Amino acid sequence: MIRRFLALTILGLLCIASGANAGGLKVALVDGLDATQGTAVIKLEKGALKLKATLEPVPAPIDTGDEIFTATMYRAYLASSTDAAIEVSLGAVYPTTKGVAVLKAKFKGDLSQLGLDRIVLVAFSKDGLHSHDVLTGTIELPQSE
């Protein structure tokens, strides 16, 4: 019994010491005015993500600064800010009538080596001709020593 307790205690301490990111990286999702509209918890090593955000229910008017279009769908992506060709689609996001959007994605593979450092929620028009980033978040990876 004591050996089991000691083994579990040591295992717990090793888990705590081995990775501060065991719970994942928490990323704030901000709109164009830098107001926080949600969060995402990302585990790139495991290829997992949980996102919760506040978005206008569709159809939603989206002001791009140059024009206003009606969004009929939101999609979420992980992307690299240094290489536009690197992007992982997380799927469609549909907010409830109260404006709450939740997304869970699990790829079961290591995404940490792709250089992904941004999460983006994009609004799309019905015809697909118009799109605009509505929420973005910067993934700040821990510095390796």
Is the omega angle on the peptide bond into residue 61 within 30 degrees of 0, that is, cis?
Answer: no
Averaged pLDDT of the chain: 84
Which pLDDT belongs to residue 144? 55
Query: How many Cβ atoms sit within 10 Å of the Cβ of residue 56?
Result: 15
Q: Which residues, including other chains, have CB under 8 Å from residue 92's CB and lie 6 or more apart?
A: 73, 74, 75
Q: Where are the beta strands (DSSP E) in 16-142?
A: 25-30, 36-43, 48-54, 60-63, 68-79, 87-93, 100-106, 118-125, 131-138
Which pLDDT belongs to residue 140? 87
**Entry pTM:** 0.78
| pLDDT, tens only, 117-130 | 999 999 999 998 99
**Which is more confident, 137 or 140?**
137
- Bridge partners of 57, per DSSP, are none
| pLDDT, tens only, 16-74 | 333 444 568 999 999 999 999 999 999 999 989 999 999 999 999 999 989 999 999 99
Instruction: State the Cα torsion 24-26-31-37 to the nearest 10°.
Output: 110
